Amino acid sequence: METRRHRFVVAALLGMLTLPATAAATVTPIPPDNGAIATTLPSFSGKAWTAKKITATAPPQNPSMAPNGRSNLHNDSWMTDAYWRAGPLGKNLVQTTNNFGLGLPGLCASITFDTQGRVVAVCPTIIGGPTLRMLNATTLDQIASLSLPPREGPASANIFQDFTGGGYFFLDKNDHPVVSTNDRKIRVYALNSAGTSFDTLATYDLSGVLSAGSDTVAGERLSSALPDWAGNIWFVSMTNGKVGWVNTSTGAVHSVTLNEEIENSFMVSSDGVYIVSDKALYHFDTAGNAVHRLWRSVNYGNTGKIKPGQVDAGSGTTPTMLPGGLVAITDNADPMNVVVYKASTGAQTCKVPVFTKGAGSTENSLIGAGTATSSMLIVENNYGYVNPYYVGAGSTTKPGFTRIDVTKGGKTCKVKWKNTVDSAPTVVPKLSLTNGLVYAFTKAKTANHADAWFWTAIDASTGKKVWDKFAGVGILNFNNNYAGIHIGPNGSLFLGLIGGVATLRDGS
DSSP of 265-291: --EEETTEEEEE-SS-EEEEE-GGGS-
Cα Rg of the chain (Å, integer): 21
Backbone angles phi, psi at 198, to 5 degrees: -130, 140
Nearest of 243, 350, 237, 366 to residue 300 by alpha carbon: 350
Nearest of 473, 494, 483, 472 to residue 424 by alpha carbon: 483
Burial of 427 (0-12, 13-18, 19+ CB in 10 A): buried
- CA gap 43, 470 in Å, rounded: 5
237 with 220: CB under 8 angstroms?
yes
- Reported pTM: 0.94
**Residues 120/126/128/131 CA torsion (nearest 10 deg):** -10
69: left (phi over 0), alpha (psi -120 to 50) or beta: left
Give the residues of the chain that fall short of pLDDT 70.
Answer: 1-25
Strand partners, 459: 437
> How many other C-beta atoms lie within 10 A of the C-beta of residue 449?
12
pLDDT given for residue 367 in this prediction: 98
pLDDT given for residue 72 in this prediction: 98
Query: Which residues contact residue 269 at a Cβ distance below 8 angstroms, ignoring those fewer than 6 apart?
Result: 60, 77, 78, 321, 343
User: Element (H or E) spanning 157, and its range?
Assistant: none
Q: Which domains, from first to last, does the chain contain?
A: 2-505 (2.130.10.10)
User: Element (H or E) spanning 14, and its range?
Assistant: helix 2-14
pLDDT given for residue 161 in this prediction: 74
54 vs 36, 205, 286, 450, CA distance in Å?
40, 43, 36, 37
Strand partners, 296: 282
> How many other C-beta atoms lie within 10 A of the C-beta of residue 491?
16
Strand partners, 328: 320, 340
- Measured in whole angstroms, the distance separating CA 406 from the mean position of its chain's CA atoms is 23
- 346-349 LR contacts (CB < 8 Å, sep 24+): 346/281, 346/283, 346/294, 346/295, 346/296, 346/297, 346/299, 347/297, 347/299, 348/297, 348/299, 348/300, 349/409, 349/410, 349/411
